Amino acid sequence: MGESDKTITLISEEGTKHEIPLPAAKLSPVLMDEIECLRDEGSTTASDDDDQAGEKRKIELNITGKIKGRVLSKICDYLTHYVTVEEMSAIDTPFETDVIGEIVQDWYAEYINVERKLVFELVLAANFLGIQPLLRLGNMAVTFDITGRSADEIRDIFNISNNLNDPEEKRRVREENEWAYEAKRKFEEETKRLQEERKKREEEEAAKKR
């Protein structure tokens, strides 16, 4: 039986089950490590006889038990589409646009066009599972969302208290939101570099015309 016929069942925090093809799990090193452990232990939900009979062999993973059902469902949609339909275009910097649909395919642009809270949850889950393409997509969406906003607006977005005199509160806020600020910083650096390169090219072209 080929790997494409095998499936992985991921179990959410609420106990709901979400199925993906085995090749899709390869996008997550965390899932693959767990699968290898289960294989070593011989722990699957189907017997070898069933497998030999041509039925799909299933492996259930509880490692996703800290991820909510609606988030896990979205992750499974991403993994399955990426493997069975079309891989997402690479997300490279510097960005030449802030329109996500001009950087990745329409399906992926629509996929990440969801409420802000869900985007954050997808980023955290992708980071936990090591799904790099999804993590880059989510970080890009967050970066575009917060770029150009004031400090007060960003505090509201991330639910950060304006009074950070408490060292423990400062530490908590920084740890919880470090990924977002790092994404914003990188985006602003790349944007500045891109603008400088364009300005230089324009000056060189203008000089040639003189």
| pLDDT classification of 38: cutoffs 50, 70, 90 | confident
What average pLDDT does range 98-108 have in this prediction?
Answer: 96
At 188 the pLDDT is 61
Residue 192 has what pLDDT? 66
What's the pLDDT score for residue 54?
A: 39
**129-165 confidence digits (pLDDT tens):** 999 999 999 989 988 888 777 777 777 776 666 655 6
Q: Is the per-residue pLDDT at 202 higher than 50?
A: yes
What gap in Å lies between CA 114 and CA 89, rounded to an integer?
Answer: 20
Task: Measure the CA–CA gap between 60 and 110, rounded to whole angstroms.
Answer: 29
Closest CA to 69 of 139, 10, 135, 133: 10
Q: What does the DSSP 8-state code read for residue 94?
A: S
Alpha-helical (H) ranges within the chain are 22-25, 29-41, 48-52, 69-84, 106-111, 116-129, 132-146, 151-157, 167-209
Contact present, 25 and 8 (Cβ < 8 Å) = yes
Residue 92 — very low, low, confident or very high, per pLDDT cuts 50/70/90? Answer: confident
List beta partners, residue 11. Answer: 17
What's the mean pLDDT when you consider all of the chain? 80
Three-class secondary structure of residue 196 per DSSP: helix
Determine the pLDDT at residue 181: 62
Q: So what's the pLDDT on residue 45?
A: 46
What distance in Å separates the CA atoms of residue 57 and residue 47, rounded to the nearest whole number?
8
94 upstream amide cis, omega within 30 of 0: yes
Using pLDDT thresholds of 50, 70 and 90, give the confidence band for residue 48: very low
Query: Which residues on adjacent β-strands are paired with residue 18?
Result: 10
Write down the pLDDT at residue 75: 97
Could you give the percent of the chain with pLDDT greater than 90?
41
Q: What is the arithmetic mean of pLDDT over 40-56?
A: 47
pLDDT of residue 57: 58
Closest CA to 108 of 130, 128, 90: 90
Q: What mean pLDDT is predicted for residues 7-32?
A: 93
CATH class, 1-85 region: alpha beta
Residue 186: name the closest of 147, 133, 130 by CA: 147
Residue ranges of the domains in the chain? 1-85, 90-210
User: How confident is the model at residue 59, as a pLDDT?
Assistant: 78
Whether 194 shows a pLDDT value over 50: the answer reads yes
